[in-house]
Amino acid sequence: MELVSSLCNNGVIPASYVHPPEARPGNLIVPLGKSIPAIDLAGDRDQIQIIQAILKASEEYGFFQVINHGVSETLMDDTMDVIQEFHAMSAMDKEMECSKDPDGSCKLYTSSLGYLAENFHYWRDAVAHPCHPLEECLKFWPQKPIRYREVIGAYSIELRKLSSRILEMICEGLGLETGYFSSALSENPKILVNHYPPCPDPSLTLGLSKHQDPSIITLVLQGHIQGLQVLKDDQWIGVQPLPHAFVVNIGYLLQIISNGKLKGAEHRVVTNTEDARTTISYFVYPSSECLIIPAKILANQQNPPLYKGCKFSDFLTVYLSKAADKEAVEEYLKF
Ligand SMILES: O=C(O)CCC(=O)C(=O)O
Ligand SMILES: [Fe+2]
């Protein structure tokens, strides 16, 4: 598998990256989602109003952005610099830096983890690795760029704090007991660094196909290049890059736990001809044995459970094998 960033494409997309007409992005210029709320976590509003805003956005869009979230802007800038430097390295260096774990916990790949089985590929290189507990994971991370471990380590700690804080607010908003998400449900977070090189013809391919994240929630640092789009009422809307904001999206698992009250929104990434786009996603994942089931308080006689419970590892197997086909996954999960 050759990395997209190493393809010498002379202005032409290799045939294996050209999507069939029905899978192409269609209209690349979509309205920017000014209505996707940017929620100020440190503003004048009191905690109850902030929680209400988070819940409303999670019900309507499954997406919101957070600003004034407490993560240092310097750390966010350093993180962006380090991941861009990583992807600017040679393919051989990247390969070497991602193969320090004999068990393969740090993965470098192109398109998706299902590359070999795919009918066509996506215009993305990715690095994925676990990030908690830090001391156990960090020793298998890249050591080049020289600051990778230091910066991404600090970033992972801050993102764990921020995601826990957001989940605690969601917990309160849903009426769940304090700490509902704080142990097994968020035990196994992962970092995913996405890199979408400039693409000769963005109308023929996608950076990432339409998907819902298989997480509880995901926090994305998307930098200043547009590309992320959210499906809302059958329309694609762009997630406007806001300086030093995090994009938060509700994952499939939280949709199940909230018994459909919160929406795991579908999203995708389009490419552009000019700029490489590098983003970093922090996925809150449960331990593999953890049971994912609608919370008792949200599934009752008035609101019958919409989903049957399953282990996270079983969910993931179905999710990956159905190549994120929403209907097929829902069929499996449905009562
Ligand atoms: O790169 C982005 O903007 C979004 C990435 C994403 O959706 C993902 O990592 O699941
Ligand atoms: Fe995603």
CATH number of the domain at 230, please. Answer: 2.60.120.330
Residue 42 is predicted with a pLDDT of 94
Distance, CA of 150 to CA of 130 (rounded, Å): 15
**Is 0.95 surpassed by the pTM of this model?**
yes
Of 298, 324, 295, residue with least CA distance to 309: 295
What is the pLDDT at residue 326? Answer: 75
- Mean pLDDT of the residues in the chain: 94
Please give the distance, rounded to the nearest whole angstrom, from the Cα atom of residue 304 to the centre of ligand 1.
Answer: 32
Asked if residue 14 is part of any domain, the answer here is no
**Ligand 1 probe mutation, 83, 196, 228, 282, most atoms within 8 A of CB:** 228
For residue 225, being part of any structural domain is answered with: yes
Q: Which atom of ligand 1 is nearest to the CA of 207?
A: 1
- Cα within 13 Å of Cα(59), Cβ side: 11
**Residue with CA nearest ligand 1 atom 1:** 279
Could you say which ligand is closest to the alpha carbon of residue 269? 1
Tell how far the Cα of 199 is from the centroid of ligand 2, in angstroms.
Answer: 20
* Mean of pLDDT values over 40-59: 94
Q: Considering only 57-66, 127-136, 298-307, which range has the smallest mean pLDDT?
A: 298-307
Examine residue 11 and state whether it is found in any structural domain, yes or no: no
Cβ contact 261:299 at 8 Å: no
What distance in angstroms lies between residue 238's CA and the mean position of ligand 1's atoms? 13
Q: Whose CA is nearest to atom 10 of ligand 1?
A: 213
Q: What is the pLDDT of residues 243-264, one digit of tens each?
A: 999 999 999 999 999 999 999 9
19 falls within a domain: no
Split into its structural domains, the chain has a count of 1
Each residue's pLDDT tens digit, 177-219: 999 999 999 999 999 999 999 999 999 999 999 999 999 999 9
The Cα 315–Cα 313 span in angstroms is: 5
The reply to whether 7 falls in a domain is: no
Measured by CA distance, the residue closest to atom 4 of ligand 1 is 228
Of 262, 284, 266, the residue nearest 57 (C-alpha)? 262
In this predicted structure, the answer to whether residue 324 has a pLDDT above a threshold of 70 is no
Whether the pLDDT of residue 155 is over 70: the answer is yes
Closest ligand 1 atom to the C-alpha of 281? 9
Q: How far is the CA of 302 from the centre of ligand 2 (A)?
A: 32
In a domain, 37, yes or no: yes
Q: How far is the CA of 46 from the centre of ligand 1 (A)?
A: 31
Q: Is 186 in the pocket of ligand 1 (CB under 6 A)?
A: no
**How many C-beta neighbours within 10 Å does residue 178 have?**
9
Least confident of 50-59, 106-115, 326-335: 326-335
CA 60 vs CA 35, 36, 195, 211, 272: distances in Å? 10, 9, 29, 17, 28
Segment 8-20 mean pLDDT = 88
CB 274 within 8 A of CB 213: no
Q: Is the CB of 249 under 6 A from ligand 1?
A: no
Q: Is there a domain that residue 326 lies in?
A: no
Nearest atom in ligand 1 to 247's CA:
3
pLDDT-above-70 percentage for the chain? 99
In contact, 17 and 45? CB cutoff 8 Å: no
Length of the chain: 335
Phi, psi (deg, nearest 5) at residue 225? -100, 130
Whether 97 is in the pocket of ligand 1, judged by its Cβ within 6 Å, is no
Ligand 1 and 127: CB distance under 6 A? no
Domain that holds residue 115: 32-294+309-317
**What is the reported pLDDT for 328?**
80
In-domain check, residue 335: no
Model confidence at 35, pLDDT cuts 50, 70, 90, reads confident
Q: Give the end-to-end CA distance of the chain in Å, rounded to a whole number.
A: 40
